[in-house]
Structure 1
């Protein structure tokens, strides 16, 4: 019998099934700016209505949170995570997400699993008024074991050049306001999995994996709700490296983000992880978001307006003069 691509471990028909399962839902994310449909070699997106537009892009994956999803056979939230990790980054510069592309790699493709992952992306794109305009599914036997998947994405947004938020307007006296996370989001899961070895154990009345797999919060709506009313001086997405590493990325020289840790509302699952894993609190702040998914820095006179606009926002510190860029008190 002659060799075929299928005999080498790649089933093209399963790829076609995946496309059939997702193409209608993906098309629902499109708008008048999308000039072609799924299946072309490249995706086209028309830009209009801007004076001096700047494209802002971000790419990311979901890390070893995928392992929790695969072991728990729960795939619906992973696509949301993938989109959120990319889109939340570009939102930090005041950009509006325009379009998103995904990359899904596996050892042996299962059309149902792949479609479930992509449907999560579709849901997230709709929530952010963003178009899912393309992607790639790669079946790579020998590189990945059957049942293993990796997911990554790429998001492009747009902002007027004179409205870019880069932290340069931050000054002493500005208030630091937290927008809560929905949990671990998609960072620190190598440590999470080292401490929590049984994802099916009961935690607060349900299997632990349900808490661990809560998808990353999408911040487009609250951030742009704020930006329609007032100008923000800086925005930081609290991802890998936690509060300690991400807030300093937007702080100008000779200024310091002074954070009052007593005000931070740490999720119970993170406190359980800290206790069970005997993890130092400083290590926690340098690894996890600790319940703070996004931070906005705002002129003192606008702080109350932000707190009134976003129901769950709360103040956690202020900008002071100093050389260290961040101080936890």
Structure 2
């Protein structure tokens, strides 16, 4: 059987190998833009090679993270916009490893599709590359899987994996947290990449997505544009801050909102006191709450409410953070005693 016949046979089952080759060709320039000095391979091999510079980290600890974009992808399908979700994918991974103080080194992505359209894959990878550049890590590999019959032809899933490194002397150490330490909020850009199943229900997007195209005065843009706003990447500001002060802990506010994520960075015998009047809630969350008649507790247990990252700092370090990181502010304090998160 000739190669042409083999390709035609596979194509008849719904998998187009030639489209895969074209997708790789289109994405190469975007991937190359992410390469850092440690990259030792090009795309197309069986594994991505990266040489770790141990002169900067004599006692390196690797910190790994993986995540996806979730049902936010449904909005990308509805709006036929695919160049931002890659940023979300990177952000969800690197924002997790930075909570340990680790600097992301490499990233890999996985795209599974019902039908491989090279230009769509290029748009997705373009976003992944943009996120990697912002986070300072190299996109050294990935996988694009065409899976007809498993995914609808117009849909795909997107997931990522990152490896960061931190010297053991630079690990954030929450055992140093004491009562009275401050909780400093770093602002989010919107819903980020969690809670979209509830968002879709609130706005009835599975039945009618016309509201995505309507201009919302409170948002200053269409609802769809606000919801698709990529997740903020906190790597650079947090690494810069950690060079100047002691960051005791950090919490990435993802699924589970305040109630699930802030306690993850605190010692078991301490809790967070959050002052509701101090939370700078984004208008998008006010709109979601009003439209869906959602109780306040559920909002803070689902969404980031405008806070994408929370840092635990002593008073002096907090003052440095407030002067260094745009939009940051004091959200609350740490108190002795169990209790997770208390909203006041």
Classify the secondary structure of the residue corresponding to 2:299: helix
Runs of 4+ aligned residues of structure 1 deviating over 6 Å after TM superposition are none
Matched, 1:293 2:293: no
Give the total of aligned pairs. 329
Q: Which residue of 2 aligns with 1:326?
A: 341
Matched, 1:275 2:290: yes
Q: 2:250 aligns with which of 204, 225, 235?
A: 235
Does the CA-based 8 Å contact 1:254-1:325 persist in structure 2?
no
Normalised by the size of structure 1, how large is the TM-score?
Answer: 0.98
Which structure 2 residues correspond to residues 238-253 of structure 1 after superposition, within 5 A? 238-253=253-268
Q: Which residue of 1 aligns with 2:192?
A: 185
Classify the secondary structure of the residue corresponding to 2:290: helix
Which structure 2 residues correspond to residues 64-75 of structure 1 after superposition, within 5 A? 64-75=71-82
Q: Which residue of 2 aligns with 1:27?
A: 32
Q: Which residue of 1 aligns with 2:138?
A: 131
Q: 1:224 aligns with which of 239, 243, 246?
A: 239
Post-superposition Cα deviations, 1:162-218, rounded to whole Å, max 9, x if no partner, equal: 211142221111100000000000000000011113322321253211000000001
Alignment partners' CA distance in 2, 1:93 and 1:56: 8
Does the CA-based 8 Å contact 1:34-1:44 persist in structure 2?
yes
Q: Which residue of 2 aligns with 1:95?
A: 102
Alignment partners' CA distance in 2, 1:189 and 1:174: 33
Q: Which residue of 2 aligns with 1:58?
A: 65
Alignment partners' CA distance in 1, 2:240 and 2:327: 14
Which structure 2 residues correspond to residues 58-207 of structure 1 after superposition, within 5 A? 58-197=65-204, 198=209, 199-204=212-217, 205-207=220-222
| Residue 300 of structure 1, CA deviation | 2.0
Alignment partners' CA distance in 1, 2:340 and 2:293: 28
Normalised by the size of structure 2, how large is the TM-score?
Answer: 0.93
Does the CA-based 8 Å contact 2:15-2:148 persist in structure 1?
yes
Q: Which residue of 1 aligns with 2:14?
A: 9
Does the CA-based 8 Å contact 2:255-2:303 persist in structure 1?
yes
Classify the secondary structure of the residue corresponding to 1:295: strand
Q: Which residue of 1 aligns with 2:332?
A: 317
Unaligned runs of 5+ in 2: none
Does the CA-based 8 Å contact 1:258-1:318 persist in structure 2?
yes
| Residue 256 of structure 1, CA deviation | 1.2
Post-superposition Cα deviations, 1:10-33, rounded to whole Å, max 9, x if no partner, equal: 001111111111112211211221
Alignment partners' CA distance in 2, 1:253 and 1:41: 43
Alignment partners' CA distance in 2, 1:76 and 1:325: 37
Q: Which residue of 2 aligns with 1:263?
A: 278
Give the root-mean-square deviation of aligned CA atoms: 1.3
Unaligned runs of 5+ in 1: none
